[in-house]
Structure 1
Amino acid sequence: MNTLTAEPRATNVQFDDDSLWVDLADGRQLGVPLAYFPRLLNATPDQRTQFVISGGGSGLHWDKLDEDISVSSLLYGIGDHSRKVA
């Protein structure tokens, strides 16, 4: 069984054209394709920078984009599960 022994904590968030980059308190940097999060992919660069690191680093929140991301879910490769219904 794989379990996390300590909750990963974000200390900073950055973007390039294709990826979300999360700096973790333990020194790691995690890169995730923006395609995993359509709201961030379609946001302007300014909108992407308007985030809050919440829960002591366990979450990332973009109020104007209505996007919330769990840092631990990024480590498991879990992206946005919302689906548009036709």
Structure 2
Amino acid sequence: MSTLTFETEPLAVDVTVSDETLRVTLDDGREIGAPTAWFPRLRDAPAAARSKWRLIGIGEGIHWPDIDEDISVLGLLAGNRRHSRAA
């Protein structure tokens, strides 16, 4: 079993959310994406709520205050997903 390790912690600098995809730009220029289906609160939220996000800390994660959703960059890189609306 391998362990995910990083020379530096990847940090988010920008976020876009469409009906189908969450896309996060990292400080090193990479983009990571995941289907919004992985995050039902995000998927089911109106576009205005999805576009209102803020970085957690210096970019370790993203918070959507209108829908009370938090997603970490490391969680996205590891492929973590939410399976229900229950937190």
User: Residue 57 of structure 1 aligns to a residue in which SS?
Assistant: coil
Moved over 4 A (4+): 81-84
TM-fit CA distance, 1:2: 2.1
**Cα deviations across residues 27-73 of structure 1 (Å, max 9, x unaligned)?**
10011000000000001111001110111000100111010111100
Kindly indicate whether the alpha-carbon contact (under 8 Å) linking 2:40 and 2:85 is maintained by their aligned counterparts in 1. Answer: no
Q: CA deviation at 1:81?
A: 5.0
Aligned match of 2:37: 35
Percentage of pairs with the same residue: 44
Letter in 2 for 1:79: R
What is the alpha-carbon distance in structure 2 between the residues aligned to residue 41 and residue 79 of structure 1? Answer: 12
Partner of 1:21: 23
1:49 matched to which residue of 2?
51
Aligned residues: 84
Runs of 5+ unmatched residues, structure 1: none
Matched, 1:4 2:5: yes
- Which has the larger displacement, 2-11 or 31-40? 2-11
Displacement of 1:82 after TM fit? 4.8
Q: Residue 56 of structure 2 aligns to which amino acid in structure 1?
A: S
SS of corresponding position for 2:70: strand
Where in structure 2 are there 5+ consecutive unaligned residues? none
Q: CA RMSD for the aligned pairs?
A: 1.5
